[in-house]
Structure 1
Amino acid sequence: MTLFDRLKADAAPQWADYTRHDFVDQLGRGSLPMACFRHYLVQDYLFLIQFARAYALGVYKSHSVADMRLSLEGVKAILDVELDLHLELCGNWGMNRSAIEDAPEDTPTMAYTRFVLDAGMSGDLLDLQAALAPCVIGYAEIGARLVAEGLDRDDNPYRRWIREYGGDTYQELAADFTRWLDNTASQVLTEKRYPRVLSLFEKACRLESDFWQMGLNAKN
């Protein structure tokens, strides 16, 4: 059992609330109001900027060159792939980079990003990874499930998003993160420390659910 498997099992209610949120279900069915997705997408762009900083913090917190490289790959994946996806989707509504980056952060966005950065600043690499894991691995699980259920069909307005996170490239990124988390845990995790790691993971799951809900609340 990987550390992620153990965390997911011990935080089962929080994980289910996050990965099976009504926002995700509506997105999969294609019934999510466009205003909800648009608000989520802009906020997620702002979130990813801070997420890239968290990965950069991972470079500083790393004790080996291998870990530094893995942290750097996370930064590059966000800056070179995920942000471009958001710009592409937002561009469909006539929104350019400046308009997105100048948008104000919503409260759930601030709460989540500051939580992740604080986990990394106050803790070590494992603490940072525990706070990052729900987002990195959760999106892969959500994307894979929606693809497996055939919900990336051509008439779904959100098929591009589903195919991105359900596709091979992102799935491998998440698998690499899971292995990285395990490798770090093998070096520093003890049973005495595990409750703290679990607490960080649970909190991140709750903040992910709040993030989806923020999107659902933006119906107009």
Structure 2
Amino acid sequence: MTGFSHQAWQHTVKLQQAVLEHPFNEELAAGSLSRERFQFYLAQDARYLVGFGRALAVAAARAPDPGDLTFFAGAARESVVVERALHEGYFERFGLNESDLAAIETSPTCLGYTSYLLAVAQTEGYPELIAALLPCFWVYQHVGEDILRRQRPGVENPYRAWIDTYADEEFAASVRTCRQAVDRAAAAADEATRHRMLAAFTRASEYEWLFWDSAYRLETWPTAHFFG
């Protein structure tokens, strides 16, 4: 019998394939993604990671298993400290300074995604929360490994450091640990809770697609012209 996480992935499998086929990730794989789009993505992702880290910290505080507490607390630290260090390296490489970052407004999708995770953290239980957090781990691994498979030997990709981060074994181990925590929570939950977990996993997966799409479109607030 397959676990909840496998079933949730199968439920969203068409969406997960659409993530791989999105122009942002197609061009990222080819190394042809525009600098402007990647800069925009970096700015949004750096802000997203703060909200993601806060939601992970709530999961750690609620985790009934000491091992899961350790994992989610460590992941919260990684999201804010380690991954932001990777972003800062890219900021320097791609010529982004603090004033450039400040000029890039937080997009509607970025605000929506972080607000959703924090709302789940505040209004739902531990099983629903970790189900909502899982796509950020798993989708990035899925994208990173797919892009790595498509790299041509001897062809330099300016985004290779980003690709390698999410395609390595250490990150894959984190995904497995998160999946196991979600599967244990689902196995102990009643049917109504598992239904809410699936809804949370699906909505977060939708936000993952929207995040790539918003970066590719350089998404702005449609109401911004009212304040010009």
Residue type of the partner of 1:110? Answer: L
Aligned to 1:193, the other structure's residue is in SS state: helix
1:167 CA displacement: 1.3
Distance 1:97-1:66 versus aligned 2 partners, 3 A rule: farther
Distance 1:152-1:59 versus aligned 2 partners, 3 A rule: farther
1:137 CA displacement: 0.7
Distance 1:118 1:151 in 2: 42
Distance 2:137 2:46 in 1: 15
> Which residue is 2:195 aligned to?
195
The within-5 A match list for 1:115-130 is: 115-130=116-131
Structure 1 unpaired stretches of 5+: none
Distance 1:103-1:4 versus aligned 2 partners, 3 A rule: same
1:105 CA displacement: 1.4
The answer (yes or no) to whether the contact 2:132–2:200 under 8 Å persists in 1 is yes
Which consecutive segments of 4 or more residues in structure 1 shift more than 6 A? none
> Which residue is 2:159 aligned to?
158
Distance 2:184 2:76 in 1: 19
Residue type of the partner of 1:60? Answer: A
The answer (yes or no) to whether the contact 1:41–1:86 under 8 Å persists in 2 is yes
TM-score w.r.t. length of structure 2? 0.87
Does 1:63 pair with 2:64? yes
Does 1:20 pair with 2:27? no
Distance 1:65 1:203 in 2: 28
1:128 CA displacement: 0.9
Aligned to 2:64, the other structure's residue is in SS state: coil
> Which residue is 2:204 aligned to?
204
Residue identity over aligned pairs, in percent, reads 24
1:151 CA displacement: 5.3
Residue type of the partner of 1:165? Answer: Y
- Alignment: residue pair count: 218
1:129 CA displacement: 1.1
Distance 1:26-1:128 versus aligned 2 partners, 3 A rule: same
TM-score w.r.t. length of structure 1? 0.90
Distance 2:118 2:155 in 1: 38
Distance 1:154 1:57 in 2: 42
The within-5 A match list for 1:1-220 is: 1-96=2-97, 100=101, 103-150=104-151, 154-188=155-189, 190-218=190-218
- Indicate the structure (1 or 2) with the bigger Cα radius of gyration: 2
Distance 1:186 1:114 in 2: 28
The answer (yes or no) to whether the contact 1:30–1:158 under 8 Å persists in 2 is yes
Distance 1:133 1:71 in 2: 11
Shifted more, 52-61 versus 12-21: the winner is: 12-21
Distance 1:151-1:113 versus aligned 2 partners, 3 A rule: farther
The answer (yes or no) to whether the contact 1:130–1:197 under 8 Å persists in 2 is yes
Aligned to 2:192, the other structure's residue is in SS state: coil
- Once the two structures are superposed, residues 160-205 of structure 1 have per-residue CA deviations (whole angstroms, 9 ceiling, x without a partner) of 11111111221211122112212222222x3333322211111111
Distance 1:104-1:31 versus aligned 2 partners, 3 A rule: same
Structure 2 unpaired stretches of 5+: 220-228
The answer (yes or no) to whether the contact 2:127–2:193 under 8 Å persists in 1 is no
Distance 1:107 1:92 in 2: 26
RMSD: 2.1
The answer (yes or no) to whether the contact 2:139–2:208 under 8 Å persists in 1 is no
Distance 1:101-1:172 versus aligned 2 partners, 3 A rule: farther
